[in-house]
Structure 1
């Protein structure tokens, strides 16, 4: 049997030659692999909206966010009509009174439209404020003067910030022909209320919610 040493030597020489011809700092490139999503990262991943998440209606499907908007607007209207009525009775500040008058008028409109839309789609809506909203009503019930004004303005301003985030989300992708114009109307009213509340000079901006990215 012939010795394989010459072939081994030749292969080694060829390998050295290829290495010598390679450009300096050359790197071996491998295909990138996507990192596995496990644990908390997997749990935090958003659940995509699917047909199973939607409730079908004669006016197009409504998402959970759309139903939440109808619920929140109804509950907020109940709170803000009540507390704004107190503001008209207890505050001598013209800016607070102006905000209260507009809020009462526009929330009565939203409440009526909300009830009509929900009825036409066969959706149940609450007849009472949420527990946290009721806690605010109960707190303000016993407040007067500047204490009431500050609490009233900041409670409503914070609530309107949260509502604006929700209504913008719903308006961005709703397929429902009743919810779409309702979200437009609610968004316009909310911005009006925010501006009026800020004109009172009582808003504590540090209390406002910061939306996540």
Structure 2
């Protein structure tokens, strides 16, 4: 199975130090490290801006909160994208049903494209993204790899349906609540694609029950 490339976006030295410390401590997964590093980066940037502009504390706090929401959305859905890719690469090889196999192949291509766009948005905002799966997703991937035949197909398709149901909710929430900008635009443009993925997965799920 192809392993998703592990790379981090360019960040200031302090952020990279935080990342290094977190990785070696083993106490946080890659997504948690990214979230905490981005939060610190946003706080530092907003503090610098506050010293240069005459904005109220309330407006700065609101701006900071929206930036944190955007970074968390990108981190969560990038990691989920890695998970979808690795699940689907496994299914593209191991699935028994041809419809499941074809869906998996489509999911790999689609989520690589989505993650590529998330990477570009995160880079422009100087946000860190996770380079590895969280513990729950690692376990889920291992568990799927132990199955074969119809059991494998059903587990994979159930996981894909559940994941895309959660993603649809996340993307709707992001488009509704984030401020104008690249992340909100991305959420609005990508939501129909995620909904299409969910519809395709449900169709396959209904057929192989």
TM range (shorter): 0.5 to 0.7
Q: 2:99 aligns with which of 91, 95, 105?
A: 95
- Tell me whether 1:180 sits opposite 2:184 in the alignment: yes
In structure 2, the residue corresponding to 1:92 is in which secondary structure? coil
Structure 1 122/55 Cα, relative in aligned 2: closer, same or farther at 3 Å?
farther
Q: Distance in 1 between matches of 2:156 and 2:123?
A: 31
Q: 1:54 aligns with which of 46, 63, 88?
A: 63
**Higher radius of gyration, 1 or 2:** 1
| The 10-residue stretch of structure 1 (137-146 or 184-193) with the greater mean CA deviation from structure 2 | 184-193
* Runs of at least 5 residues in structure 2 that lack an aligned partner in the other structure: 1-57
- Tell me whether 1:77 sits opposite 2:100 in the alignment: no
Aligned to 1:155: 159
Structure 1 180/88 Cα, relative in aligned 2: closer, same or farther at 3 Å?
same
- Tell me whether 1:138 sits opposite 2:142 in the alignment: yes
Structure 1 129/54 Cα, relative in aligned 2: closer, same or farther at 3 Å?
farther
Q: Aligned-pair distance for 1:138?
A: 1.3
- Tell me whether 1:191 sits opposite 2:195 in the alignment: yes
Say if 1:95 and 1:199, in contact at 8 Å, map to a contact too.
Answer: no
Aligned to 1:32: none
| The 10-residue stretch of structure 1 (125-134 or 103-112) with the greater mean CA deviation from structure 2 | 125-134
Say if 1:98 and 1:196, in contact at 8 Å, map to a contact too.
Answer: no
Cα offsets for 1:38-84 (capped at 9, x unmatched): xxxxxxxxxxx97425339xxxx5242x2222012211111111111
Q: Distance in 1 between matches of 2:207 and 2:143?
A: 18
Q: Distance in 1 between matches of 2:63 and 2:154?
A: 40
Structure 1 202/91 Cα, relative in aligned 2: closer, same or farther at 3 Å?
farther
In structure 1, the residue corresponding to 2:205 is in which secondary structure? coil
Q: Distance in 2 between matches of 1:192 and 1:203?
A: 17
Q: Distance in 2 between matches of 1:202 and 1:51?
A: 49
Q: Distance in 2 between matches of 1:53 and 1:191?
A: 30
- Taking only aligned residues, the RMSD between alpha carbons, in angstroms, comes to 2.3
Cα offsets for 1:98-147 (capped at 9, x unmatched): 21122111100111111111111011111112221112111112211111
Aligned to 1:167: 171
* Runs of at least 5 residues in structure 1 that lack an aligned partner in the other structure: 1-48, 205-213
Say if 1:78 and 1:128, in contact at 8 Å, map to a contact too.
Answer: yes
Q: Distance in 1 between matches of 2:60 and 2:158?
A: 39
Superposition TM-score, scaled by structure 2 size? 0.65
User: Structure 1 or 2: larger helix share?
Assistant: 2
